[in-house]
Amino acid sequence: MRTRSALAALGAGVMLCGMAPGDMSVAAFLARAGSIERLGPLAIATPEAQYLKGQVVAAGKRYKARIDAERKAGRKTTSCPPESGSLTPDQWMAHLRSYPPQLRKSTSIYSAFDGLMRKRYPCPV
Q: Nearest Cα to 92, choosing from 9, 29, 21?
A: 29
Indicate if the pLDDT at residue 32 is higher than 90: yes
Q: What is the pTM of this model?
A: 0.79
Helices (H), the chain: 2-17, 26-37, 47-72, 89-97, 101-104, 109-120
Position 22 scores a pLDDT of 80
Any idea which of 2-6, 44-48, 120-124 has the lowest mean pLDDT?
Answer: 2-6
Mean pLDDT for all residues in the chain: 86
Is the Cβ–Cβ distance between 40 and 125 less than 8 Å? no
CA 29 to the chain's CA centroid: 7
Position 67 scores a pLDDT of 95
At 74, the amino acid letter reads: G
Position 10 scores a pLDDT of 36
Phi and psi at residue 23, in whole multiples of 5°?
A: -85, -5
CA geometry: angle at 57 spanning 53 and 61, to 5°? 170
Is the Cβ–Cβ distance between 79 and 118 less than 8 Å? yes
